[in-house]
Amino acid sequence: MERTGLIDVEELVELVRNYNPRTNADLIRKAYAYGRQMHQGQIRKSGEEYFTHPVAVAAILTEQRLDDATIITALLHDTIEDTKSTYSEVERLFGEEIAELVDGVTKLTNLQLSSTETQQSENFRKLFMAMSKDLRVILVKLADRLHNMRTLKWQQPEKQVKKARETMDIYAPLAGRMGMQWMREELEDLSFKVLNPEARASIIRRFITLQRETGEVIPKITADIRTELDKAGIEADVYGRAKKPYSIWRKMQEKQLAFSRLSDIYGFRIICRTEADCYRILGVIHQRWRAVPGRFKDYISQPKSNGYRSIHTTVSGRDGKRVEVQIRTRQMHEVAEAGVAAHWSYREGVRVQNPFAVDPARWVTTVTERFDEGGDHDEFLENVKLEMYSDQVFCFTPKGEVVQLPKGATPIDFAYAIHTRIGDACVGAKVDGIRVPLWTRLKNGQSVDIITAAGQRPQATWIDIVVTGRAKAAIRRSLREENRERFIKLGHELARVAFEHVGKKATDKALRTAAKVLGLTDETEVLARIGSAELSASEVIRAIYPDLAAQVGEEVATDRAVAGLAADQSFRRANCCQPLPGERIVGITYRGQGVVVHAIDCPALAELEDQPQRWVDLHWHTGRHAPVNNVTLDLTIANGSGVLGRVCTIIGEQKANIADLTFADRKPDFYRLLVEVELRDIEHLHNLLKVLEAESDVAQVERVRDLSRKP
């Protein structure tokens, strides 16, 4: 069994002393002893004593040279939550500052950020409130999540997937938004390893093959860069690295490129002494290698809101291979590595006065200042996620004022960033003096002039054009107001029918009660949202009559689609037979994988006839299932113009999503495809097969059951 072991208290103190000789070593020792005592007897899934985890979290934070209070908080961060320790005791022993930090981390731990329930948006709000109070709370939480992800292999598979998804969706982008790019990359890659191990392994294999074919590219290019800098008499350090598997995978998906066509999979970093040297180095690089157009970004003159400063350029290096080069000073590099955490960094016992470190309070304000304008929790949540995931572009007003927007923003986003009134009245835009369509994606450094007209109102199509949460919220609000009366009438009728279906009446009092539960202003707001399809009548009924909600015809939850499991058992559908709701099924227990559901006629079951103790009697829950069940179809179609498009359209018209499509065989007159579709149930499959068989250009279609795929 692999063990990392417990870091000794003196080792931890030494890690802190390396950057802070004036550390309060006795207080760290006291916290170490107290934490170990509180966690006495607790064991991690790996078999190690639990206290190895808080100590490892503290060690991660020493890499960012953080202050004593943060290190001690890491040592104690699980005491209030998981032991008999209390806030008052921590405050008595370690002071109010540390007690507040430990309490803040405890509250974050209790937030179900990955929840699909309505409280998710409210929990996000609490997360950002905790951050605005003291950002060190989220630094401890991120280090906590990083260590948990590094040791995730000891958890049950379903727990691994849940944690990895939450990390990929929330904690990794949050780390990136805070400027801690190294942490973002590691969190993403650890999550990628769990969520898509085949893709990650495939990229690593291709990388090894590439290295075998081209040799060690990184040392060669690093040496070339150093040679050019020596010629110019510039003193700088040069580092090269291959990009992380998830970073490569994301780029492949975004650009729809195969690995062999992906160019910039290597990154190089040049760290110099002064800002002037940064621009001198840029000149040296561009004189020696050809710059790739459109791939230059100057974050020194236009820094990111989290304090990030650097020059980025991409050039064609050896053998025409593209490489990305980042140029920055040592101080800029410290902020690039630590992000907003640089505000607390210590060196030689004193806080580092880094001129590039962003004041955390100001940073949180820039992230959250517009969130409340959305008006409700769902819009707040959308704004949070858009803000966390966005890379930035900087554009200018005609007067030269800078407007910061997410990558992919349009002139409509720009208009709303100036003022809601400007956005609502927008009819056109000029970019660098030239009239452009409103869906144009803005680029760094462009000057944007918004053309407005009195009486203009936002168009419904704008929702799909804009990318900022502010613009989306304003457009939805305007559309709601414009169509409010119509939506209220329609919502009243939909509510009446739904309530009558469960033997109730949609009275004003009932709707007022629903509004209170759902966090809306009044009954008319409930009706307006039902009419605009932002809220379903079944959700309203569930809010006040949860026991009757099932009668409205809502979908069966995917995590309880199967009946007959024990309370602690999870399930998944077998890959070999891909059973669908409506088919007879049986469960087979697999160690560490829960119960795998097979169709009763699956040939794979023949090998298990002599192991009856592993068989579980199961059946599908009655009701309408969600269209999330993958089934593979073997489809032979004519090789003609537009045939594939027509077939895809037919599948879409049947409300079936295409999850994957592979060409199995290509002939001059026919193509054979393997199409993976997502369906509700067996009836949904039969209907789809029927309409495909009726299509004249479809020669053959059948469901695939493949025993070569693991159950």
Please give the pLDDT value at position 549. Answer: 53
3-state secondary structure of 105: helix
Which segments of the chain have a pLDDT < 70? 1-5, 110-133, 213-215, 253-264, 305-306, 317-320, 339-392, 532-534, 547-555, 592-593, 707-711
- Give me the helices (H) in 151-196, please: 157-166, 172-177, 181-195
Distance of alpha carbon 372 from alpha carbon 599, whole angstroms: 50
Which residue, 683, 673, 671, 565, is CA-closest to 619? 565
Q: How many CB atoms lie within 10 A of CB 609?
A: 8
Pick the CATH number of 199-351 from 3.30.1360.200, 3.30.460.10, 3.30.565.10, 3.30.70.590: 3.30.460.10
Residue 223 to residues 244, 268, 289, 324, 671, Cα–Cα distance (Å)? 22, 11, 14, 15, 50
Please give the pLDDT value at position 1. Answer: 31
What residue segments make up the domains of the chain, in order of their start?
Answer: 9-193, 199-351, 364-467, 483-549, 556-620, 629-703
CATH of domain 629-703: 3.30.70.260
Distance of alpha carbon 343 from alpha carbon 487, whole angstroms: 50
607: Cβ contacts below 8 Å, ≥ 6 apart: none
Tell me which residues are annotated as active site. 81-82
Distance of alpha carbon 598 from alpha carbon 601, whole angstroms: 8
Query: Is the full-model pTM beyond 0.95?
Result: no
Which architecture does CATH list for 364-467? Answer: Roll (3.10)
Please give the pLDDT value at position 366. Answer: 56
Distance of alpha carbon 501 from alpha carbon 536, whole angstroms: 14
Cα dihedral: 55, 56, 58, 64 (round 10)? 160
Please give the pLDDT value at position 646. Answer: 82
Give 318's Cβ-side CA count (13 Å radius): 13
DSSP string, 434-473: EEE-TTPPP-TT-BEEEEE-TT----GGGGGT---HHHHH
Please give the pLDDT value at position 234. Answer: 93
What is the DSSP pairing of strand 236-242 with strand 266-272? antiparallel
Both tokens of 635, joined, read: 């489809």
Place of tokens 């962003």: 358
What is the DSSP pairing of strand 448-452 with strand 426-431? antiparallel
Please give the pLDDT value at position 447. Answer: 85
Please give the pLDDT value at position 346. Answer: 55
CATH of domain 9-193: 1.10.3210.10
Please give the pLDDT value at position 133. Answer: 66
Residue 121 to residues 447, 471, 517, Cα–Cα distance (Å)? 35, 19, 15
Amino acid, res. 628: V
